Amino acid sequence: MSVTPQMALDLPAREDFSAAAFISGPSNAGARDVLERPGDWPRNVMALVGPEGAGKSHLASIWATQNHAITLPAAHLAAHLSDLAAQTALVVEGVDQGVDEDALFHLLNRAAEGEIQALLLTARSRPAHWRATLPDLVSRLRALVHVDLHEADDELLTRMMQKQLADRGAPVRPGVIDYLLPRMERSVAAVRLLAERMDKLALVKKTPITRAIAREILDSWTETGDAA
């Protein structure tokens, strides 16, 4: 029996960016260490770089809470640059997805001068690869220090999935997570959504989560165009 479109699509992933919800592992250890020491950042700036779904927004949110920082999408930076008070800590997300070059250049200057207390930039690619045409900005980006957030390994994904299922009180048969690991998208969001969908289907079928349940959810992703 195939999953109905409603069952496959009506379960949006809940984004919990609290420190308590973050699961630490070797793939994020280096980034966590660097973010704990913003006083050591050259020119008060650090770029957090990693693939989609690696946990950049989650780590950035934790850092923002700990440092009383403002968070802005890169596309909104130019509109809010003049509103930023002195000694503000700031997160700018998705810088490589499009940002006003003049605004970014001035922001980097303000950070270097200490007017911005600490500046965390998130992106999928390293600063030297960000699109920029202003010569001074290109030079700054090439020199900008970054820390890599790596794709989650099997151990971390397993712990994430175990926590999601335990939080939902969802019984799961042995071998299900091992079945999922080589077939799923390796991201926090995918783990959360898979857990939700498998739990709901198992409740409908009145069964623990089995490999058959997992296979049906993965097949429904392929049929509806979702990435899993």
pLDDT in tens, the chain (228 residues): 344 434 433 444 456 677 666 777 888 889 999 999 999 999 999 999 998 877 898 899 999 999 999 999 999 999 999 888 888 899 999 999 999 999 999 999 999 999 999 999 999 999 999 999 999 999 999 999 999 988 788 888 898 899 889 888 999 999 999 999 999 988 777 888 899 999 999 999 999 999 999 999 999 875 544 544
pLDDT at 151: 78
Mapping DSSP to helix (H, G, I), strand (E, B) and coil, where does residue 143 land?
helix
Instruction: Indicate if 56 and 82 belong to the same structural domain.
Output: yes
Judge whether 188 lies within some domain.
yes
Judge whether 14 lies within some domain.
no
> Can you give the pTM of this predicted structure?
0.75
Query: What residues contact residue 135 under an 8 Å CB cut-off, 6+ apart?
Result: none
Residue with tokens 């409603």: 6
Instruction: Indicate if 215 and 193 belong to the same structural domain.
Output: yes
Judge whether 17 lies within some domain.
no
CATH of the domain at 113: 3.40.50.300
Task: Give CA–CA dist 158/10, Å, rounded.
Answer: 25
Neighbour order of strands in the sheet with 45-49: 70-73, 88-93, 116-123, 45-49, 146-148
Instruction: Indicate if 40 and 107 belong to the same structural domain.
Output: yes
Range 15-18 contact pairs with CB under 8 angstroms and sequence separation of 24 or more: 15/57, 15/189, 17/57, 17/58, 17/61, 17/62, 18/62
Instruction: Indicate if 38 and 113 belong to the same structural domain.
Output: yes
Residue span of the structural domain in which 58 resides: 26-148
Judge whether 121 lies within some domain.
yes
Residue with tokens 């999935």: 161
Judge whether 15 lies within some domain.
no
pLDDT at 16: 66
pLDDT at 226: 57
Q: Which of 148, 169, 196 is at the close of a domain?
A: 148
Angle at 44 between CA 39 and CA 47, to 5 degrees: 105
pLDDT at 192: 84
Instruction: Indicate if 38 and 134 belong to the same structural domain.
Output: yes
Task: Give CA–CA dist 199/193, Å, rounded.
Answer: 10
Instruction: Indicate if 174 and 191 belong to the same structural domain.
Output: yes
State CA 34 to chain mean position distance. Answer: 16
Instruction: Indicate if 163 and 134 belong to the same structural domain.
Output: no
pLDDT at 223: 52
Query: What residues contact residue 21 under an 8 Å CB cut-off, 6+ apart?
Result: 58
Instruction: Indicate if 125 and 203 belong to the same structural domain.
Output: no
State CA 102 to chain mean position distance. Answer: 26
Judge whether 21 lies within some domain.
no
CATH of the domain at 202: 1.10.8
Instruction: Indicate if 102 and 168 belong to the same structural domain.
Output: no
Instruction: Indicate if 85 and 143 belong to the same structural domain.
Output: yes
**Total domains in the fold of the chain:** 2
Instruction: Indicate if 108 and 219 belong to the same structural domain.
Output: no
Length of the chain: 228
Assess contact for 42 and 78: CB atoms under 8 A: no
Judge whether 190 lies within some domain.
yes
Instruction: Indicate if 57 and 120 belong to the same structural domain.
Output: yes
